[in-house]
Amino acid sequence: MTVLDETPAHVVSLLGPLVSAEATAEAPGTALEAGDLEQAVWVRLLERLDDDGPPPDAARWVKAAVRAEARRARRTAARELPYRHEPADGPAADTSGGPERAALRSERRRVLRAAVARTPGNCPRLLTAMLSPKDPTYREIAGTLGISQGSLGPMRSRCLGCLRRMLAAEVAAPEHRGKER
């Protein structure tokens, strides 16, 4: 099958079934779907048409191109590492970590609750409501505290700032590495 002196539309109609069949046959062994593999081959064909012109034996070229793209996809998939999701509390929140991690989680919660209790004014009530496992809405928190929903955001900001300063004072400042300025 030659595609010499053919229009692009004729090349696509001529090679379409072959590219589709080859891509469908190779796709299960790759990390790509058949359509993605097919699209990669069409891109390679267009690059080839721009650089060297049409291949003299189009059927052989399509088979080789599909296999080359499939190999590339397999190599890429073998090098890629899956994203390792860390829980929101970081690695210490992993429940499969055993008693050490459970103790660290418990200690972190205890320190946070103690700091929340030492905050001034209505902050302990607000922060306790926000830390609730029920995950209440702003409307529910405002109703519980007896304040307007509009003042909840600024109050939350002030309370979190206060809590942040309290916790930062309790944590030792990291030492400088290298030269001190």
CATH of the domain at 106: 1.10.10.10
Q: Are residues 75 and 18 located together in one domain of the fold?
A: yes
List pLDDT tens digits, range 33-43: 888 888 888 88
Q: Tell me, yes or no, whether 68 lies in a domain.
A: yes
Mean pLDDT of 129-135: 87
Q: Which range of residues forms the domain containing residue 51?
A: 8-79
Does the pLDDT at position 124 exceed 90? yes
Is residue 30 pLDDT above 70, yes or no?
A: yes
Is residue 140 assigned to a domain? yes
Q: How many domains does the chain have?
A: 2
The HSE-up count of residue 155 (CA atoms within 13 Å, CB side) is: 22
In one-letter notation, the amino acid at residue 133 is P
In this prediction, residues 12-37 reach a mean pLDDT of: 84
What pLDDT score was predicted for residue 125? 92
User: Residue 85 domain-assigned?
Assistant: no
Q: Is residue 91 part of a domain?
A: no
Q: Do 161 and 116 reside in the same domain of the chain?
A: yes
Flag whether 176 is in a domain. Answer: no
- pLDDT for 35: 86
Q: Average pLDDT for residues 165-169, to the nearest whole number?
A: 81
Is 180 a domain residue?
A: no
Q: Report pLDDT for 58.
A: 82
pLDDT at site 80: 72
Please indicate, yes or no, if residue 2 is contained in any of the structural domains. no
The residue among 45, 79, 113 that closes a domain is 79
- Which of 153, 127, 135, 126 shows the shortest CA–CA distance to 88? 135
The pLDDT tens digits of the residues spanning 156-166 come to 999 999 888 88
59 and 28 within one domain: yes
Residue 112's Cα: distance from chain center in Å?
A: 29
The residue count for the chain: 181
Lowest mean pLDDT among 43-57, 81-95, 134-148: 81-95
Do 12 and 75 belong to one domain? yes
Residue 3 lies in a domain: no
**Above pLDDT 90, what percent of the chain?**
10
Whether the pLDDT of residue 8 is over 90: the answer is no
C-alpha distances (whole Å) from 87 to each of 84, 93, 94 are 10, 6, 7
Q: Check residue 34 and give its pLDDT.
A: 86
Half-sphere exposure (Cβ direction) of 13: Cα atoms closer than 13 Å: 5
User: How far is C-alpha 153 from the chain's CA centre?
Assistant: 29
Q: Within this chain, do residues 109 and 52 fall inside the same structural domain, yes or no?
A: no
Q: Cα separation of 149 and 136, whole Å?
A: 13
pLDDT of residue 81: 67
